[in-house]
Structure 1
Amino acid sequence: MKSSFPNSSQFSPTQTTLPDLLLIVKQFQPDRDKIKQEISNRFFSSSPDKNISDNTIYALSEFQLLDKPKDNTSYATLTPLGESLAEKVIKNQLPEMYNEFARHILLNLHGLELVQCIDDLAFQGTKLTKATISKELQYRGYHIPNNGTHLNGMRQWLEQANLVEHGKWQVNQEILKKLLGNLDGVEIDEYAQLTHGQRAFAMAFARMGLDEALSNKVASYAHALYGVDFPEGGLPQSTLFGLQDIGLIVCQKTTSGQGAKPYVVKSTEKLMNKYLEPIFIAIENSAGIQYRKLIRMSFDEILVGLNNESKHKKGLALEALAFYLGRLIGLDFVKWRLRSVETGGGELDVIMEGANLIFSRWQIQCKNSTQATLEDIAKEVGIAQLIRTNVIMIVTTGRIGDKARTFAERIMRETNYQVILLDKTHLQKIKKDPSEITNILQAQSELAMTLKRNQIGVI
């Protein structure tokens, strides 16, 4: 499996100084053989490996600084980003060059997830090492090869912008804020909790470049750009008020005329941050950024949040519950199938995977409701057939209905699925002792084994 982070073999500040490397490529492009030879002469003249600079060329491509077509091995040129950095080198604007490269790493190469992961581990009091950071990133759904140089290489390049302290895994929050257009960690967390539709509306409005506009016009533009469908008549509740709450827009109801009128939306300084769109895109493409607020919640906070009057806070607690249970079991996040914001905080579906002795894919549904029903399980079974799930886990803050329990046993008896059912009594046991999850799962696994034993009678 390809790494989630770019390869940095023979591409680091101590091996290949970026200003010199960029100027070599700029001078000899598009002749890849000459670029390769000059890199070898400049940085690896004492190496017996005549092809060692191929690693550097590959890393430059991984970091999106070099374009090297697969179907033309003799061709290589700087990408627009590479050209921009090279121009800053020529103008002797090295701090600006390293800042631009660091910002690119943050927003386009999962660098933001890396620095936020470091911040989260520090918050938890975990010792910051490559091993602990790699393990946490894997929990969050990222793949990092064993013994790879990927994380160390990225850290070293972020050090050049003083974003990370040299030789240490410590993030300078003020530099991070500066690189992201004066955006701090709290605001990033707020943006991560927006719906896809809210982010699309904000990006569309920012692209329009207007001080104010009618909300329906912005929604139409967002639909054209991003294919988002907004509810008829419910735009303020589904989209506008949430954006206003975090300071991205100001919305006002129009009062003149008859019938339902669209709101007037006004832009704010936060909306006009020139890095807003790439930050939103980074969030859309990231599990980790949306994940970090959830893992900071204790189980007691989660259970309290599930009873909050706010649908938004209920939804966050429900998502945190899914992650808490997943981490207890040792599962890695893969993707959301249904977010709590789409159900008013009442339900979510998430896919996780584990590789403890054997591979397993888990489909987890959490419901903040009085009862999990047969229909809930039936829906998950239908999805499981499409994505080849091994385990379906239904979690409810209420009880498991009798028909649902009977249906789950039938599914286990007749298919290869295991269905795990957790209700409020199980959650209370886990609250008292998190390790109780192993006893709960062991008991349900033994039930599944008993129910499935007759399946081998056909052989």
Structure 2
Amino acid sequence: MSDTTRNLRLPSFNDFSPGILGKDIRRPLRIVADAQGDRDVAVKRFASEFFSGNANKRSITNVPVTLINTGLVDSGTFLLTDFGLDVVNASSPLLAAREFVKRMILDRNGILLIEAIRTLYYRREVGSRKALLKRELENLGVEGLSNATTDHTTLENWMMEAGVVVQDGQYRRPDDDVLRDLIGADSDDLSAILAMEPGPRLFLEILRRCAETAGHREYIPLKPVYSECLRRARAWFDEDQLRKNVVDPLLAAGWIEAPAAKSGKGGSARASDRLLRMPLDKILPHMFGAIPGDLRGKLTLPLPEVRNLLYDKDSKNNRGIGLELLALRMLLALALEPRGFRQRARDTSFAEVDLLAEGRDLLFSRWVVQCKNLKESSKVQLSEVAKEVGIAIHQKAHVVVVVTTTDFTSEARKYADEITRETHLQFLLVPGDIVRGYLSGGEARLLEFVMNNAAHVMAMKRGQLDGAIHWSQVGGSNVDGENVPEGDGEGADGPEDT
């Protein structure tokens, strides 16, 4: 399903079937809302309304665990989460079930249950529903389904209450019209993505990301897309057959559109409506799930407009948005995947943002990133760079990036070089002139600076390698510095260690 390993499980659904809850998922949520965080009060009402007044494991444990496991109720406060509030405030049992099922599909591996139901329908298989679904889900990599569990069948029943799955004679199938309205893709779309080879899937992921930044209807030059595919996973591609093996099949399947077919590595393409509707961030390991919704719509802003926001003297809010967009756009330009904000601009009086990012260029790397919008008379100090070292160690990161609209003090630069020479960490300190060049001239200025920085880091870290080589050459000394014979006391003709 993806090129990274994920632990695939379905939520617990013990004693949470539509039959027990009277086909209205809002009923237990209203009880939780009325209890105002008092779990004991809620449990008594669960027993009264759903289990004939019996206070047993079903009411005391199973229903609360399911509410928490599905994300409807907070485990610490036993209050409704935002998701729980969305469900309980739905105007009908049908709409509440659809809100609930949508989240299960997108965030709780319900996509795999849709695929299992679709597979059984096309095979026209009949028999024990529980056993058939269990087999298909295990084939898709879902774990933890014991022979006794009904988690998968209960979720399927809620999908039927939502109209996402319907009875078709003696079979069940996804209702693609409802599914498309609910998540933007039908069961055929989901199945095609899940079954796709990793090379074309990576191509779509990169092209979709480019569409998010360049504009959905803009044609994207394919050469840099090819280059990033080869950098990240060369073994997945035949470099001389990229158009034949990747682009042409995706065009034929309607995932991408091109103005005209071209041979070789030239040409351009854009994401089709089918690809743009697909909840790709929920299916593939993808960076967009980490980007707040209020910023995603602004990722297509031209860089000069980002610059205008960043340097808007009359609006702190605009400067904060500009700083966040600067950070995100620079990470995307470097083919990194944002993993989330540690601090957003509004949390720091619109003066700085902090992010985590990850890269998969040949090898995995984790980056801690800080962007600072300073007054022209200010520079980034040593103490501010040192703080990022502590954060990087805590986050098990490999690279520290500090971006500023001004410059760094000489002490800050010397400190970064010292840490680079003496530890596994490396620094990318991006000063204001590079920021302005990037915002005015595009990615070329930034990429050139980063490549030059990589050469600088490599030169400093060669001293570490020299030390390691020297240590290995004198590795026959003991802890006191005295030479140890090559044998182990057996003499020159004694047995060798294996």
Q: TM-score range by the shorter chain?
A: 0.3 to 0.5
Q: Indicate the structure (1 or 2) with the bigger Cα radius of gyration.
A: 2
Highest RCO, 1 vs 2 (Cα 8 Å, sep ≥ 6): 1
- TM-score (normalised: structure 1): 0.48
